[in-house]
């Protein structure tokens, strides 16, 4: 499914709540139909592309396009992308 309205999951884990385990064992498991949104560099993409020095500079359309581009390989494989940090 490549529709922009296709399912997308954001997971924000508190420290010491098994986020790394979830990322490695569940969220990146194609057998469950899931994949990290940016592949193995998912977390790096979040910080590199989405965390801004100036919170007033957020551009929703640009952010949506960045996510679509990074998720394209996972969506092409029929997987639901998960962004987790």
Domain layout of the chain by residue ranges: 9-17+28-84
Q: What pLDDT, on a 0 to 100 scale, did the predictor assign at position 1?
A: 41
pLDDT of 14-59, one tens digit each?
A: 989 999 999 999 999 999 999 998 887 777 777 777 766 676 787 8
Overall pTM > 0.85: no
- Count Cβ neighbours within 10 Å for each residue of 3-41 and write b for 16 or more, e otherwise: eeeeeeeeeeeeeeeebeeebeeebbeeeeebbbbbeee
Q: What is the DSSP string of 18-72?
A: SHHHIIIIITT-GGGTEEETTGGGHHHHIIIII--SSGGG--HHHHHHHHHHHHH
Give me 51's structure tokens.
Answer: 């965390």
Q: What pLDDT, on a 0 to 100 scale, did the predictor assign at position 63?
A: 83
pLDDT band at 5 (very low <50, low <70, confident <90, very high): low
Whether residue 67 has pLDDT greater than 50: yes
């Amino acid at each position: 499914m490549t529709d922009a309205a296709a399912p997308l999951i954001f997971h924000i884990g508190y420290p010491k709540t098994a986020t790394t385990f979830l990322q490695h064992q569940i969220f990146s498991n194609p057998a469950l139909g899931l994949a990290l949104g940016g592949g193995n560099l998912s977390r790096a993409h979040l910080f590199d592309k989405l965390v801004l020095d100036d919170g007033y500079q957020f551009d929703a359309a640009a952010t949506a396009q960045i996510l679509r581009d990074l998720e394209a390989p996972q969506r092409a494989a029929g997987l639901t992308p998960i962004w987790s940090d």
